Amino acid sequence: MFGTLDHVGVLVRDLDAGVDAACASLGLQLARSADLEQYAIRARFLGEGSGSLEIFTFTDPEILEGRLAGLDRRLDHVAFRVEDIESLSATLRATGVRFCGPDRREDALEPIPTGPARALWTRPETSGGLALQLIEPPSS
C-alpha cells in the first residue's frame, strides 16, 4: 500500500538548535532546506536518500505550541513515497481516514503541491493515532 520510507519528521521549538543537535549526535549532514511559508513551516532535511530526518518548526507560535504541548521536540510524522496518491487516499478515506495540510488547520480534499511533488497528511485521530505524510514524487 505505502511505498518506500521518505523521511521521519521531528518538530522542534528551536530549528537551529535542533539541527545542530541532530547533526552532532547522529553524524548526519544537512542535505536540503524546504520552507513552506503558506503553512508557516521551516524545515531542514538531514541525510541523503530515503529514510532522511526532517527537523522542522512552525513560525506561527499558536501552531507550534499546540503541536509541541510544552515539549522542546517530538516525533511528528512518518512520510512515505507513494505512486498514486489519488488512489491511496481514496482507499484510506473509505476506511475513515481524513487528510489535512501540514499545519492541520483545515481538511484537505486534494493533494497539496509541495514543490514538484504532491502530498497529504493524515489526521492522527483518524489513522490509528499516527500522523502519516503521503508524498507522490513528480513523474519521471
pLDDT per residue over 37-90, tens digit each? 999 999 999 998 778 999 999 999 999 999 999 999 999 999 999 999 999 999
CA 98/CA 126 separation, integer angstroms: 6
Mean pLDDT in residue range 114-139: 94
Task: State the average pLDDT for the chain.
Answer: 95
CA 78/CA 10 separation, integer angstroms: 9
The ranges assigned to domains in the chain are 5-136
Mean pLDDT in residue range 12-39: 95
CA 102/CA 69 separation, integer angstroms: 17
pTM greater than 0.85: yes
pLDDT above 90: residue 125: yes
Percent of the chain residues topping a pLDDT of 70: 99
Partners of 79 in the beta sheet? 7, 133
Element containing residue 56 per DSSP (H, E)? strand 52-58
Class of domain 5-136 as given by CATH: alpha beta
pLDDT in the model for residue 140: 63
pLDDT band at 92 (very low <50, low <70, confident <90, very high): very high
